[in-house]
Each structure stands twice: as structure tokens, then as C-alpha cells.
Amino acid sequence: MVGESNFTELGALALQGAHHLLTGNDSTPHIVVAAASDNINSLFSWGSDESSGQSSSATSTQMANGTNSTTATTSTDSGLLNIANGNVDASILLSEPSLILALAIIIEMLLPLPKKCKLSGLYSIFAGLGRKVNRSGDSQSQRAFAGFFLPFLILTCLIFILLTVDIISNFDSLITLVALVYILELKYPQDQVIKVDRALHEGFKDKAKELLSSIVLRDTTPLSEMGIIKAGAESAILRIFEGWFAVIVWYYIAGIEGALMMQTIAVMARAFNYKLQGNHQFGKTIFHVYQVLLTFPAVVLALTLCCSLHPLKALQAGWAAYKTYPAATSGFVLGAIGGSLNLSLGGPRYYQGYIMRLPRVGGEGTPQGNDILRAMRKIRMAGLILLIVTSLFDLNVIS
């Protein structure tokens, strides 16, 4: 029988390895890998050819005696890993949804895919289509109809293509893996906010504004250093939440189609943003759908924040923001993360030359120093906690 201490040690090592990967550390955590290998060897020593044969023999005897068949299941599954001989069957990585997701996250983080090769790369195409159907001479009712029909058509086409590929491949897990790598977006917003933070610390404020403008819709020209830090923190929180955390949650809810739906609607919500001139009526429908889809991921986020410091303060700040922020669900996310970090977010910002005053949410501390990175790490760690917990359930470590 597998010792519980091995599972505990292996879980701790997995957390350390994930931390090294997600913090972008250039050095490979050799100690973690070696220690993990030792634990896996002791954990799955029954997976060797010799012990597998003994297990099968013992299983046959037990089945003949009418005893519990749990050992039979164990001996059957032992073929997935053959650590003693140094052979690892990659099929185990495609055997459970959470393992497929974990592998996709690692690949998405490590592969330097161009932005145009990601679902978020369709932003400019969506924006172009929006300009074609949302003409300045159209009536408000025509704009409202176009704002409903175009997102519906885009989403239907993409889901139809994905379902067709799934059916042709007989719902192959490899197709799900490839699709998740295409859909998930953590690397780009993470890398951009890191570059913004680095430019600020090196004294290149104009460069920081230019980098920030690639991930926000607001005008960055009038921003002070504090304004850049606040905008960077807000962008890190919302972009990683909508393009990564919420996609993970919807993948668990509705499979790969749910992940595709969430990311597509998030990209369209930016492309047709109601805050931009001419989009107020056109972007209303997708804005409301987007906020509704973020609701359940926001609840899951609240649960993960219970595992962090100051959970009550985070939830209180999130609830206060939910009641006052124009985009209620986004406000909850900003408020909860800001409250957890004691970071003041929200406030006035410029869009296409005009000012929009939003309520302040979160904590009381003025954004400064490395608060961009603190915000990015906070929302990223929430996703990592969710992934680890669901993986442990899938592997029956937690039952």
C-alpha cells in the first residue's frame, strides 16, 4: 500500500516545482526534480515489470478467492508508469482533464508562440468586423442588433469548427491539449506586465507607457508613475483572470467547448468594448454576457483567496466593489485582489481623450514599487491553487 507520507512529500515538491516554473526562474530546479523522482520511485515501485507480474499473480489469487478487486485496478493502472526502468508512459498525462490542463499550461508557458497563433490574436479581426457592422450612420436599434448577431455568429462558427474536429478525431485527448494551448493565455499578459515593471525600475517611463498600451484600452500618455503601476496591476489581474483563470474554470464546467466560449467572449468584449466611442450600444450585449460568464469563476476565485492571507478583508473589499463598480463581476475581482494586497485600484482613467471616473476599490495602499508583480503573482497563484486541488482529486489523492 502506498504510504501517505510519500504523497505529502510529492505534493510539496510539486508545489516547489510549479513555483519555479511560474516565476520564470531561468535555473532548472534540479533538487526538486531529483527529490520528486525519489518519491515517485518509492510511490510507484510496484510499477516495474517484476513487481507488476507479482501484483498480477496476487490479484488473480484474490479474485479467485472473491476478495476485494481494488488491487486488480492498481495492477492494471501500474502499466502507466515504469519508473524503475526509467520509462514513463506519456498517456498518463492525457488520462484526466486536470492533467491535460496542467500539461497545456506548461506548454503554453514554455512555447514562444506568436500572438497571432493564439485565440487572443483574433482581436484585430474581431475589431475590424465590428467596425464593418457598427456603422456611424446606423440607428441605435440596428447597432444593438449587430452587437447581438455578430458575437453569436463568431462564437457559433468557432464552436462548430471545434466540435467537428472533436467528432472526426473521436474526441481525442490530444486535440483537447492542442486546443487548450491555443486558447489559454497566461504568458503574454504576464510577460508584458513584467516588462512594464522592469522599464519603470530602470527609469524608462515612456517605454513603460508604450508597453502598457498593448494590454490596456485606456490612454497611457497622461499617466504618472503611480498611474502606470495602478493600470499595470489592474491589467495583470483582469487579463490573467479572464484569459486564464476563468478559462480553466469553464473548462472544468463544460469541457474544451466551455474554455473556447469563455476566451472568445473575453476577446470580443475587448474588441467591442462599450467604453470606446461608438461602441456603447453595440458592445452592450457582449459586455453583459461577459460579466455573467465571469460570475462563477469569481466565486471560485473567492474560495481560493480563503487560502491566502487576509481572506475576510479580500472578500469584504470584493463585495463592496461588486455593489459600486459599473462592471460588477470585474469589480469584485479587482476589489478582492486589491483588498488581499491592501492595494487601492480603480479611480479615473482616460479613454480616447475623455475621462471616465470609476469608484476606488480594493485596499487603501497607494500603488508603488513592485505592486504590478504582486498583483500578477496573486491572481496567478489563485489559478495554481485551483489546478493543484483539482489534480489531486483527479488522481484520487483527495477523495
The per-residue pLDDT for 392 is 86
Q: Would the pLDDT of 66 be above 50?
A: no
- pLDDT tier at 30, thresholds 50, 70, 90: very low
Q: Which of 370, 299, 379 is nearest to 340 (CA)?
A: 379
pLDDT in tens, 90-128: 566 677 888 899 999 999 999 888 888 899 999 999 999
Among candidates 186, 121, 140, 122, which has minimal Cα distance to 387? 186
Burial label for 17, CB within 10 Å (0-12, 13-18, 19+), is: middle
> What's the Cα-to-Cα distance from 333 to each of 190, 205, 313, 360, 383, rounded to whole Å?
17, 27, 13, 13, 13
Name the residue with higher pLDDT: 142 or 52: 142
* pLDDT given for residue 352 in this prediction: 83
The arithmetic mean of pLDDT across residues 184-188, rounded, is 95
- Each residue's pLDDT tens digit, 251-291: 999 999 999 999 999 999 999 998 888 888 999 999 999 99
Question: Which of 1-5, 41-45, 69-73, 168-172 has the highest average model confidence (pLDDT)?
Answer: 168-172
Cα dihedral: 63, 68, 69, 74 (round 10): -120
| In the chain, % of residues over pLDDT 70 | 76
What does the pLDDT average to over 31-55? 41
Please state the domain extents for the chain. 4-92, 101-394
Q: Which range scores top for mean pLDDT: 37-51, 59-73, 237-251? A: 237-251
Chain-wide mean pLDDT for the chain?
Answer: 82
pLDDT at res. 10: 41
Using the predicted structure, report yes or no on whether residue 48 has a pLDDT greater than 80: no
pLDDT of residue 89: 55
d(CA 269, CA 251): 19
Q: Does residue 313 have a pLDDT over 90?
A: yes
Yes or no: say if 301 and 329 are a contact pair by the CB < 8 Å rule.
no
Check residue 74 and give its pLDDT.
44
Q: Per-residue pLDDT for 47 more than 70?
A: no
Ranking 122-126, 199-203, 347-351 by mean pLDDT, the lowest is 347-351
The model's confidence at residue 60, banded by pLDDT at 50, 70 and 90, is very low
Q: Which helix (H) or strand (E) holds 230?
A: helix 225-240
